[in-house]
Amino acid sequence: MSPSKKAAKPAKAIERKSESAKAASFPWSKFLLGYGLYVFFHEIDRLLPGTILATIFGEGIESIYAHMKMLFYSYLILSVIDYFRTRASVLPRSFFEARMLILASAPWMMIIVYYTVEAVGVILPRSIDLPWALVVTAFGLYFCLQLEGPLGETEFHPGAKWAIRAAFLAALITYLGFSFAVPDNFFIAVE
């Protein structure tokens, strides 16, 4: 084996190790930015009362829907930032479909996890419910970030792409439309 081939092998091994280390590391700064956006949207009604921004992005009334919406918009903003950060390099194969699928499904996953405790018959007192809600919000963002890599490299069938786009569009329309009028008691938190 020639010396140049011997030298190339370790370089490739180092390259593979750094790629796997990069893939294995969790994007803490992105997670914290997403959580910060969620908290900002939670408080935007108090910061900008009566504004269209507060209506669209904020909580408005205490509701399941509002918490789903705030996660949706937080992750949507993270995805837009990712697009502009990575478009100069190579975007993952299914960047848009992956993000749209995550945006359409992750808020529901967050709510499913939140209500698991109640589904098994445990009613949390307010002093425990709030920390639980904060943990579940963190889980929602964690869920989004963990799905990016695998879904970004997935080759979706054209029919699946259209279904994902339709689900994303429905989610966007729902979160926007319901900002002005939450339709029923499923979405309104009963005190």
Q: Where are the alpha helices (DSSP H) in the chain?
A: 3-24, 28-47, 52-57, 64-86, 95-119, 126-152, 158-177
pLDDT category of residue 181 using cuts at 50, 70 and 90: confident
Tens of pLDDT, residue by residue over 126-178, are 999 999 999 999 999 999 999 999 999 999 999 999 999 999 999 999 999 88
Distances in whole angstroms, Cα of residue 23 to Cα of each of 26, 92, 139, 151: 8, 13, 19, 13
pLDDT category of residue 189 using cuts at 50, 70 and 90: low
Which of 99, 69, 80 lies closest to 177 in space, CA to CA? 69
